[in-house]
Amino acid sequence: MGLRVLGAAWLLAALLPLGAAAAVAAPEQTGVAAVAGRRAIASTAEDFICATLDWWPPDKCDYGTCAWGRAGLLNLDLSNKVLLNAVRAFSPLKLRLGGSLQDKVLYGTGDLRQPCTPFVKNESEMFGFTKGCLPLRRWDELNAFFQKSGAKIVFGLNAMNGRVPLPDGSMGGPWDYTNAASLIGYTAGKGYQIHGWELGNELSGTGVGTRIGAGQYASDVITLKKIVDAIYRSNPSKPLVLAPGGFFDQGWFTELIVKTKPNQFNVITHHIYNLGAGRDTHLIEKILNPSVLDNMLSAFSNLQGILKSTGTSTVAWVGEAGGAYNSGHHLVTDAFVFSFWFLDQLGMSAKYDTKTYCRQSLIGGNYGLLNTTTFQPNPDYYSALLWHRLMGTKVLATTFKGTNKIRAYAHCARDSPGITLLLINLSGSTKIQVSVTQTGAAAGGHNHGAGKGNFTIQASVATKASAAAAAVEHKHGGRRHGRRFGHGHGHAPGFAGFPAAGGGATRDEYHLTPKGGDLRSQVMMLNGRALATGADGSIPRLEPVKVDAAQPIAVAPYSVVFARIPHFQAPACS
């Protein structure tokens, strides 16, 4: 009989969408996370979240699919209301304009001695396209949109002008900056606000398509700095100078920093596509695998080490990160499951003093924060917006023990007392009950600066709620009949002595789940409610559930929780 029941349960799980099996029964597990609140281990920029706009034309195709449509910088519909509202919601959102074709872009300024024509598909050319041109009329249109939306713009310049092939296969000779300097001069003359000018795309290390040596790149960056200094000399808000917009290579990046220190450029940018090709059929397994997520730790750590040891004022950004290269993978990198990778990347990079993180892309390909044709936000858009609104600039050391399926990150709360805790549950079968208690010292792990006065987030054993009750709570957003979303009813041990936690203290919780429990869903549920734009193209309100601070935080299988805890007294945040 037992075997027959087990078989039926297995059959039911097999018939459900990926991730939905969790709704059948969610056993609970305990664990301990420690947040060191005494001092910050790192800090991010106020506008940490950034997204990219790319140059790809509609006939850019990968593996037989053309996923870019009219989302490129030369043809994007800038009058779309959702696009405007999506950017405005961040106030501000950094936008990095660049990508593979950036080093083939000419600018239609007065010095251009040829017609300003668009990219044309040509398989014999690098990246499959000829050179293309940005007409000044389009540059004016783009800047009008940026001004209206309040975006902060980083523009990636063509670093390939004037290069000659060298015997070793790389490109050499000094950068011909004439056309770029002309665009910078035009932009400054028009009063367009540019946050930064970035030199080149993926030419560092072994390069993508081609490469340039670090020594030559360093002298070109110094040239760009001189151009920016000269053009903006009377301007109080001088743009940043960024480079190289490529993949991290320890030796190459070290040489660039050493030859430009202490202050020849402001930001060193690196790119991340650590999940492999977009055609990979194992992307979801990789995203749910903690050791795959951890494979970027060394790059973040090593780059931070170079910056600290060389005595430079340059800081690190992630300049482009799409996870899976060649435009991503439909119903993976544009679906709920990708928020596990994306939020984990934001948390991990912030711990290593990354100041800004630019997601590829705002729109276009299969990894856009917005749908390429409808402009509707994909799940990661809401993940990014919640991060932007809840996670402050100060990063707190955080560890979790008990299961490697929980990823935990904490920052001082943004514009609010206390902290915001981010919990990501990579398990599709186990619900984690997390309760909060004070402790004198934090556990080990990647715990930079843990010490006295730390906090522990402790998972407590809670009674197993029936699947039916859990489903009812989930369906009604946890607000019906006085139930709180996703919580057991047992009082958590370890809350005694928690400062101001008793006597009606509450915290805000934001539970993110996929519609129908399907990891491939493109609809994000917030506290059981589907997020969608209004008829007028407005971005929906992101409302928390108020939870009794004495109750544990329940992290459902395959879910993400942001918990804003105002009574968490972290000296680092005062």
Show the domains of the chain with their CATH numbers.
44-393 (3.20.20.80)
347-351, 398-402, 442-446, 537-541: least confidently modelled range: 442-446
Question: Which spans in 352-490 are helix H?
Answer: 379-390, 467-475
Catalytic option among 28, 198, 202, 509: 202
Task: Assess contact for 549 and 506: CB atoms under 8 A.
Answer: yes
pLDDT above 80 for 10: no
Catalytic option among 28, 320, 473, 509: 320
- Residue pLDDT, tens place only, 196-234: 999 999 999 999 999 999 999 999 999 999 999 999 998
Residue range 475-499: mean pLDDT, rounded: 34
Tell me if residue 202 is catalytic.
yes
165-169, 359-363, 494-498: least confidently modelled range: 494-498
Task: Assess contact for 201 and 152: CB atoms under 8 A.
Answer: no
Residue range 186-199: mean pLDDT, rounded: 98
CA 333 – CA 284 distance, rounded (Å): 9
Helices vs strands, H then E, count in the chain: 12, 28
Pick the closest to residue 519 from 557, 555, 561, 558 (CA basis): 558
pLDDT at 208: 98
- Angstrom CA distances, 142 to 105, 136, 245, 372, stand at 16, 10, 22, 18
Maximum pairwise Cα distance, the chain: 83
Helix, strand, coil share (%) of the chain residues, nearest 5:
30, 25, 45
Q: Percent of the chain at pLDDT above 90? A: 78
pLDDT above 70 for 342: yes
Residue range 116-126: mean pLDDT, rounded: 97
- Residue pLDDT, tens place only, 450-478: 333 334 444 433 333 333 333 333 434 43
pLDDT above 60 for 8: no
Contacts of 10 (CB under 8 A, 6+ apart): none
pLDDT above 50 for 367: yes
Residue range 318-345: mean pLDDT, rounded: 98
Q: How confident is the model at residue 25 (pLDDT cuts 50, 70, 90)?
A: low
- Residue pLDDT, tens place only, 233-242: 988 889 999 9
Torsion sign across C-alpha atoms 207, 209, 210, 215:
negative
* Helix or strand (DSSP H, E) at 345: helix 338-351
pLDDT at 24: 56
Residue 389 CB neighbour total at 10 angstroms: 19
- Residue pLDDT, tens place only, 411-449: 999 999 999 999 999 999 999 988 765 554 433 334 333
Mean pLDDT of the chain: 87
pLDDT above 90 for 559: yes
Question: Which spans in 150-213 are helix H?
Answer: 178-189
Q: What are phi and psi of 284, to 5 degrees?
A: -65, -40
pLDDT at 475: 39
Residues in the chain: 574
pLDDT at 86: 98
Q: How confident is the model at residue 150 (pLDDT cuts 50, 70, 90)?
A: very high
Task: Assess contact for 17 and 373: CB atoms under 8 A.
Answer: no
pLDDT above 50 for 496: no
The token duo for 510 is 């934001």
pLDDT at 401: 80
pLDDT at 30: 78
pLDDT at 495: 35
Q: How confident is the model at residue 550 (pLDDT cuts 50, 70, 90)?
A: confident
pLDDT above 60 for 23: no
pLDDT at 18: 60
Q: How confident is the model at residue 399 (pLDDT cuts 50, 70, 90)?
A: confident
- Residue pLDDT, tens place only, 230-275: 999 988 889 999 999 999 999 999 999 999 999 999 999 999 999 9
Q: How confident is the model at residue 546 (pLDDT cuts 50, 70, 90)?
A: very high
Task: Assess contact for 26 and 462: CB atoms under 8 A.
Answer: no
Q: Percent of the chain at pLDDT above 70? A: 84
Determine if the peptide bond prior to 538 is cis (ω within 30°): no
CA 217 – CA 128 distance, rounded (Å): 25
- Residue pLDDT, tens place only, 44-63: 999 999 999 999 999 999 99
pLDDT at 19: 55
pLDDT above 70 for 491: no
pTM of the model: 0.89
CA 568 – CA 101 distance, rounded (Å): 47
Pick the closest to residue 160 from 142, 180, 141, 140 (CA basis): 180
The four Cα atoms 130, 131, 136, 140 give a dihedral, to 10 degrees, of 70
Tell me if residue 285 is catalytic.
no
* Helix or strand (DSSP H, E) at 320: strand 315-321
Long-range own/partner contacts, residues 117-123 (CB < 8 A, 24 or more apart): 118/57, 118/74, 119/55, 119/57, 119/74, 121/57, 121/59
More confident residue, 36 or 294: 294
pLDDT above 60 for 492: no
pLDDT at 437: 58
Pick the closest to residue 138 from 13, 53, 61, 196 (CA basis): 53
Task: Assess contact for 552 and 492: CB atoms under 8 A.
Answer: yes
pLDDT at 446: 42
